[in-house]
């Protein structure tokens, strides 16, 4: 199988009350999953890798402000077009569920566990 670009979709802010340590725990889980995808021979991506630098550059002052909301999920939605598949990880997350829904609408493969991804 040729390498796939796989979007890791999981909670970022969900369930954290915007506490930085809890957000970092969510990000760490996505990064660890991304590494597993890479080891399987694929190219992992996270919407956060694209969105966060753009959000900062655009002048966002805090999570959830107008600039944040204009970029955070929309960047990931654009990224879906370039991906072959989405891996949904973690607990409840409206944003991650939205990525899955849009991916399904666009005919992308949806995985719910790393073991579903073939090397």
Answer for the pair 3, 43: CB distance below 8 angstroms, yes or no: yes
Q: Establish how many alpha carbons lie within 13 A of residue 29's alpha carbon, considering only the half-sphere containing its beta carbon.
A: 17
- Residues 83, 64: Cα–Cα separation, whole Å: 26
pLDDT band at 19 (very low <50, low <70, confident <90, very high): very high
Is 80 exceeded by the pLDDT of residue 1? no
pLDDT at 40: 98
What pLDDT is recorded for position 3? 97
Nearest to 93 by CA among 119, 73, 64: 73
Closest CA to 13 of 3, 1, 22, 2: 22
The dihedrals phi and psi of 113, each to the nearest 5 degrees, come to: -155, 145
pLDDT band at 31, cuts 50/70/90?
A: very high
**CB proximity list for 96: less than 8 A, separation 6 or greater:** 9, 10, 11, 14, 88, 89, 90
Contacts 24+ apart (CB under 8 A), 19-28: 26/90
| pTM to 2 decimal places | 0.95
**For the domain that residue 65 is a member of, what is the CATH number?**
3.40.50.10400
**Structural domains in the chain (count):** 1
- Percentage of the chain modeled with pLDDT above 70: 100
Residue 77 belongs to what domain range?
5-116
Residues in contact with 107: Cβ distance below 8 Å, sequence separation at least 6, in sequence order: none
Query: What order do you get walking across the sheet with 5-9 strand by strand?
Result: 43-45, 5-9, 85-88, 109-111
Tell me the pLDDT of the chain averaged across its residues: 97
Query: Tens of pLDDT along 40-92?
Result: 999 999 999 999 999 999 999 999 999 999 999 999 999 999 999 999 999 99
Percent of the chain with pLDDT over 90: 99
């Amino acid at each position: 199988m040729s390498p796939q670009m796989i979007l890791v979709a999981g909670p970022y802010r969900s369930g954290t009350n915007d506490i930085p340590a809890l957000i970092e725990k969510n990000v760490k889980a996505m990064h660890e999953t991304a590494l597993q995808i890479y080891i399987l021979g694929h190219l992992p991506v996270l919407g956060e890798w694209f969105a966060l630098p753009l959000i900062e550059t655009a002048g966002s002052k805090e999570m959830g402000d107008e600039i944040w909301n204009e970029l955070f999920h929309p960047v990931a939605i654009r990224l879906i077009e370039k991906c072959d598949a989405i891996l949904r990880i973690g607990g409840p997350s409206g944003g991650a569920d939205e990525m899955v829904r849009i991916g399904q609408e666009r005919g992308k493969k949806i995985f719910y566990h790393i073991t579903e991804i073939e090397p």
